[in-house]
Amino acid sequence: MRRDHVCAGSVAAVVDIDAAIGFVVAHGDAVERARLSWLRTGTQPSPEVLDSAEVGQTLGGGWPASWGDEVASVDATCFRLAELDDLGALGRPSARRALDWLAAGQQPDGCWEEDRALADSAPEWARPGDPEARLYLTANAAFWLTVAGLDARAAGPLDHRVGGAYAGVVHAASQALAAHLRPDGSWPSFLAAGWLSAAVLHRQQMFYESAQIKAVLAERLPQASAADAAWLAVTLRRVGVDHQEWTLVAARRRLTETQRSDGGWSSDDGHQFDVHATLAVIRAFR
């Protein structure tokens, strides 16, 4: 049985990746199992799986959230892009339209906010008019435009800068994110806004600001949930942060402490997302 080791003090901590794979196979749906196959072996998903992963996209390019009727949501669109990334599908037309929709939704100050029509149904992290939600959504949208910009081949000329076709959009977002940092490196928003911002700023070569955030995150990791530790690790690795960087080592250590006896990890959003959380861990140890 294959295991991955992380140095945790003087004791070798172990993540059982084979058990995690078994959990996804046993409990995942067709899309989640296809994500596992792509992460493990680069196996291209079937057209049926891709159609299923892309279903529900609005004509404008975004996806609606389960809590938002038919109105496209920034948060839900970023979640779908994460799923498509696990399928190697960010270059498909569906993802390109979604990225274009995100870029077009940036506000003059460099930030993003959910549609006002979602005010009565949105959870706290996506509530229109809430400054904490605004910062989180900005970090999330900027992260995906950072990751996918050079590959998206959206309408218009590509740019050699970070973000490709979306370089100007990402740059404006990074300035907005940096402007919200406090002197001690903390930020006035949800925890996830921290690692998403750190990733964006890292790719913008704003290494000091990114390191400030990562120092705060490292202090929080010993008490972080499994889902948060996995999301942090995947986010920073996706933009090229070295896997031996101390924040990532701390995140992997936390994941060794939180694997369940069935091989999976628990999601903060309910058991129906445990497979998604487990896939994030598998990607973090990839």
Query: Does any domain span residue 1?
Result: no
Number of domains in the chain: 1
CA distance 87 to 182: 37
Q: Within 10 Å of residue 144's Cβ, how many Cβ atoms?
A: 30
Query: Does any domain span residue 24?
Result: yes
> What is the pLDDT at residue 7?
47
> What is the pLDDT at residue 167?
87
Query: Does any domain span residue 33?
Result: yes
Specify the pTM: 0.90
> What is the pLDDT at residue 10?
33
DSSP conformational letter for 123: -
Query: Does any domain span residue 7?
Result: no
> What is the pLDDT at residue 141?
98
CA distance 94 to 89: 9
Contact 186, 216 (CB under 8 A): yes
> What is the pLDDT at residue 153?
46
What's the CATH number where 107 sits?
Answer: 1.50.10.20
* Owning domain of residue 161: 17-285
Q: pLDDT digits over 15-55, tens only? A: 999 999 999 999 999 999 999 999 999 999 999 999 999 99
Query: Does any domain span residue 144?
Result: yes
Lookup: tokens for 21: 């794979």
> 226-238 vs 274-284: helix axis angle to the nearest 10?
40
Contact 141, 78 (CB under 8 A): yes
Query: Does any domain span residue 100?
Result: yes
Which stretches of the chain score pLDDT less than 70? Answer: 1-13, 68, 149-164
Distance of CA 250 to the CA centre of its chain: 18
Query: Does any domain span residue 233?
Result: yes
CA distance 152 to 90: 7
Query: Does any domain span residue 3?
Result: no
